Structure 1
Amino acid sequence: MKIAVAGGTGLAGRLVVEVLRTRGHAPVVLSRGQGVDLLNGSGLDAALTGAETVVDVSNVTTMRRSVAMNFFDTAGRHLVGAAERAGVRHLVTLSIVGIDRVKNPYYAGKLRQEEIVRGGPVPWTVLRATQFHDFAGQLLSSLPGPIATVPMGRLQPVAVREVAEALADLALGSPQGMAPEIAGPRVESLVDMARRRIAAGGVRRRPVLPLYLPGGMNSGGLLPTGPGPRGTQTFTDWLGEQRTTARND
């Protein structure tokens, strides 16, 4: 089966491509390096010729609402339009748990992406996942200054590989609409995750100051609200992997 992966060179995308290949399929990576640009649509029609399914894990790194909205709106419309023209039978899109409950500039873009998929002509599945185990480290890397002010809140972090496996399962099945949310096995404090990530090495050592932000994050807005698949790798397990990798480098 020919399956196209938008964002197939990113954190989750690389693993989706790997999983699909190990299962005997032929994933096609939609990226600028492969001559495909989601923002202007160039190369999309040719890349999707003969594809039965598209997995969209495309992403933009930003905390500006205008940038996120522009990327997900433009890329989403181009991808859905090209998928319709190619006769794609299933569009699988990765989204985030809680984006409709927690106000965040980036989440506004993801909500727009979901709207385009749900309102489009291509049969679809949207999988919302909780934050990846990498999230605390990514947050720390984005925070300047001698003290890291980390928002208080609870997460149920999940391994990106387990999300990639779930996306591959969905891509090989029938469209589901909104799929059950996927999350990790354990609820964690984001402040505690940040402190433990610093202690594990690989990120700059500095004090972590808890920051209270009113809104959905403090009341569990980023936690799953119903039953669904749960990963097995805990944040502790993942940290152990990072330490082992650092020692071997």
Structure 2
Amino acid sequence: MQVAVAGGTGVVGNHVVAKLRNAGHQPVILARSHGVDLTTGVGLGEKVSGCDAVIDVVNIVTTRRKAAVNFFSRTTSNLLEAARSNKIRHMITLSIVSSEEVDFGYYFGKRTQEGLLRSGGVPWTLLRATQFFEFPQPLLDNRSPVVLMPRMLCRPVAAQDVAEQLVEHVTRTPSGRTRDLAGPEQLNMVDMARRIARVQGRHRLVVPLSLPGEVGRAMSGGGLLPRGDYAQGRRTFSDYLATLGRSTGQ
């Protein structure tokens, strides 16, 4: 099958593209570096022509509600329009566990994305996943010796496990919202950041940051944890750290 991957150069997107190829599918990467601007739709129609499905893992790094809502409104609307025009049979979208319950700025964008998907006129599957193992990395990459890391209690999941779940849906019937996906361990984001820094040999002072109000209490108190029946990734955070250690020679 020919499968378009929106955000195919990102953390999850790279794994999705690789796993599609390993499964014998033909991935079509939708990203600026491949001639497609998802926020304007430029280059999108011709790229998805002939595709059987779309996997949407496009992302923006922001904590601001307005920026997140604007980004996901534009990218999702453009993807849905291209999918309808090209009679694509399946739209598979990645979102976040508890995005409808925690009023964090970025999550409002994901709510907008999910709403558009549901009403977009294209058969769909929605997979919500918890935070990735890589979540602390952008903050650790800052040159400052002091890193403010939000207090977050979560069940982080491997990006590879998320990609596997998304790719499995390519050959399945669109199923609406599917089971949430979470990692096998309950961890604190501050501790995760410190462990990553040690493995990478970075001299960073990781300082816990409590976000204000209901959002901060939800993040630190388990509001981001999956509820009810959910699928569990097989890779552990220790597996991820071992991979980091090999890549950095530690």
**For the superposition of Structure 1 and Structure 2, which TM-score range results when normalised by the shorter chain?**
over 0.9
- For 2:102 and 2:144, locate their aligned partners in 1 and report how far apart those are by CA, in whole Å: 26
CA contact (8 A) 2:62 2:68 kept: yes
Amino acid across the alignment from 1:226? G
- Cα deviation, residue 141, structure 1: 3.6
2:55 aligns to what SS in structure 1? Answer: strand
Amino acid across the alignment from 1:159? A
Change (3 A) 1:155 1:52: same
CA contact (8 A) 1:158 1:184 kept: yes
- For 2:161 and 2:50, locate their aligned partners in 1 and report how far apart those are by CA, in whole Å: 28
2:223 is equivalent to residue 221 of structure 1? yes
Change (3 A) 1:207 1:124: closer
- For 1:104 and 1:195, locate their aligned partners in 2 and report how far apart those are by CA, in whole Å: 24
Tell me the C-alpha RMSD between the 2 structures: 1.8
Q: Please, which moves more after superposition, 211-220 or 3-12?
A: 211-220
Change (3 A) 1:103 1:204: farther
CA contact (8 A) 1:141 1:203 kept: no
Amino acid across the alignment from 1:241? T
Amino acid across the alignment from 1:218? S
- Cα deviation, residue 123, structure 1: 0.5
Gaps of 5+ in 2: none
Amino acid across the alignment from 2:100? D
CA contact (8 A) 1:151 1:213 kept: no
Residue number in structure 1 paired with 2:125? 125
Summarize deviations over 1:81-101 as a string: whole Å, max 9, x none: 110010011000011111112
Gaps of 5+ in 1: none
- For 1:186 and 1:68, locate their aligned partners in 2 and report how far apart those are by CA, in whole Å: 29
CA contact (8 A) 2:139 2:147 kept: no
Residue number in structure 1 paired with 2:157? 158
TM-score (norm 2): 0.92
- Cα deviation, residue 203, structure 1: 4.1
CA contact (8 A) 1:152 1:213 kept: no
- For 2:206 and 2:221, locate their aligned partners in 1 and report how far apart those are by CA, in whole Å: 24
Residue number in structure 2 paired with 1:14? 14
CA contact (8 A) 1:182 1:231 kept: yes
- For 2:141 and 2:67, locate their aligned partners in 1 and report how far apart those are by CA, in whole Å: 20
Give 1:197-216 correspondences, 5 Å limit. Answer: 197-211=196-210, 213-215=212-214, 216=218
Q: Please, which moves more after superposition, 149-158 or 204-213?
A: 204-213
Change (3 A) 1:244 1:168: same
- Cα deviation, residue 210, structure 1: 4.9
Change (3 A) 1:57 1:212: closer
- Cα deviation, residue 228, structure 1: 2.2
- Cα deviation, residue 151, structure 1: 2.4
Change (3 A) 1:202 1:13: farther
- For 1:115 and 1:169, locate their aligned partners in 2 and report how far apart those are by CA, in whole Å: 23
Change (3 A) 1:151 1:199: same
1:71 aligns to what SS in structure 2? Answer: helix
